[in-house]
Amino acid sequence: MSTARGSSHRAGLRRRPERARPLLVHLTTVDLSLAYLLLPQLIGFRDAGYDVVGVSAPGPHVAQLTEHGIRHVALTRSTRAADVRADLATAREFARICRELRPDIVHTHNPKPGVYGRIVARTVGVPVVVNTVHGLYALPSDRFRKRAVVYTLERIAAAFSHAELLQNPEDLPTLRRLRVPAAKLHLLGNGVDLTRFDPDRHADARAEIRAALGIGEDEVVVGLVGRLVAEKGYREVFEAVRRLRATHPAMRVVVVGPADPDKADAITQAELDRATEEGGVVFLGMREDVERLYPAFDLYVLASHREGFPRSAMEAAAMGLPIVATDIRGCRQVVADQHTGLLVPVRDPDALSAAIGRLVDDARLRTSMGAAARAKAEREFDDRRQIEITLEVYRRLLSARR
């Protein structure tokens, strides 16, 4: 098999046109990932001299990419839903796109594109194949069947890449146990745009947003940002809020994020209605101005069951908010327990309500933890570091293949 891949790789190089700017393809499932998770990096790669193309399912966020000079190519069958036939069709479509574009680098993201994208790109002769591990979809604590499937697919797909960029250091021992070559593994970390998520820059937004939502200055706002799926811990949050509402009448809860009906664990409309009625939760849906919403919050909650390296929590930290989060991979990297926030056991409404209540009751603790969170973000969550690490990997791999 390795000989066949090598022959295809050499043939692809012979056909590849001479370009002033190397063609770089970033592959994700949906356009939302390109626009909201990767756009600052894509802009950084563009400014570093690459012709950057995003490949994903088409959607409303493509316009945001094109505004920044990022070309988009549609994967018409790509879906977040569990649909093997659609995934196979998407893999064939991506192979056609690679043959037409003849990219110099394919960089894959997300669980499904991370598998088929690496295999397809290397098989059709793309010179450099890179994958970002945003958080392995199985954890050592998961049931054996899930770990067996996820780890087997990951080991197979990793054989087709030239580099694996790991956001979370807790995934490194797992990939080593899977015998992914050490030379392929690079610790990437994760970050956000600290100039965009700057509390001083958006200080005026607090009064404006709270007034628009009908929230008084003496009320304490608990904020959440994320897709409306059970994996993000919304059911535990709704239960915790329901319990706290009677004893903490000044507490308000605001949720920002889109519905995700393709996912099996999507939060239903009935659940949203019940949370509104019983917990007084306000749902804002998808917003593109989250940097102006964070200042309206007094604390941030992320009760996820699984994370890689959560962007929303980093954004909240950068905006100087104390965070209540579950004690899981990813959240542990963002939240320093008892210093920048509080970590609680996963799927535990009792512990969650106690931690939220503690911060709602203590303005001084919120202030000290929020200042520590911003300082930690400045030290550790600057996304320019991830851009430089990735560019160095690109440069090294392209040079080796030339």
DSSP 269-316: HHHHHHHHHHH-EEEEES-S-HHHHGGG-SEEEE--S--SS-HHHHHH
The amino acid at 357: G
State the pLDDT at residue 83. 78
Q: Do 205-380 and 2-191+383-401 fall under one CATH topology?
A: yes
Q: What strands lie across the sheet with 128-133, from one edge to the other? A: 71-74, 51-57, 23-30, 105-108, 128-133, 163-166, 185-187
Which CATH number is 205-380 given? 3.40.50.2000
**Element at 25 (helix H, strand E):** strand 23-30
**pLDDT tens per residue, the chain (402 residues)?**
344 444 444 444 445 666 789 999 999 999 999 998 999 999 999 999 999 999 999 999 999 999 999 999 999 989 877 778 889 999 999 999 999 999 999 999 988 999 999 999 999 999 999 999 999 988 888 899 999 999 999 999 999 999 999 999 999 999 999 999 999 999 999 999 999 999 999 999 999 999 999 999 999 999 999 999 999 999 999 999 999 999 999 999 999 999 988 889 999 999 999 999 998 999 999 998 999 999 999 999 999 999 999 999 999 999 999 999 999 999 999 999 999 999 999 999 999 999 999 999 999 999 999 999 999 999 999 999 999 999 999 999 999 987
d(CA 190, CA 173): 18
CA–CA dist 337, 80 (Å, integer): 33
pLDDT of residue 16: 60
The residues, any chain, with a CB within 8 Å of residue 42's CB and separated by 6 or more, are 26, 34, 52, 54, 65, 68, 70
Residue where the block lists tokens 């790509």:
78
Query: Which token pair is 229?
Result: 């799926």
What is the C-alpha to C-alpha distance for residues 148 and 169, in angstroms, rounded to an integer? 21
The secondary element (H helix, E strand) that includes residue 374 is helix 363-380
What percentage of the chain's residues is helix, strand, coil (to nearest 5)?
50, 20, 35
Q: Write down the pLDDT at residue 82.
A: 74
Query: Would you identify the CATH topology of the domain 2-191+383-401?
Result: Rossmann fold (3.40.50)
DSSP states along 313-365: HHHHHHTT--EEEESSTTHHHH--BTTTEEEE-TT-HHHHHHHHHHHHH-HHH
pTM: 0.87
Q: Would you kindly state where each structural domain of the chain is located, as residue ranges?
A: 2-191+383-401, 205-380
With beta carbons less than 8 A apart as the criterion, state whether 359 and 324 touch.
Answer: yes
Determine the pLDDT at residue 379.
97
How much is the pLDDT for 263?
A: 86
Q: What is the DSSP letter of 191?
A: -
DSSP single-letter state for residue 1: -
Residue carrying the six token digits 């043939």:
11
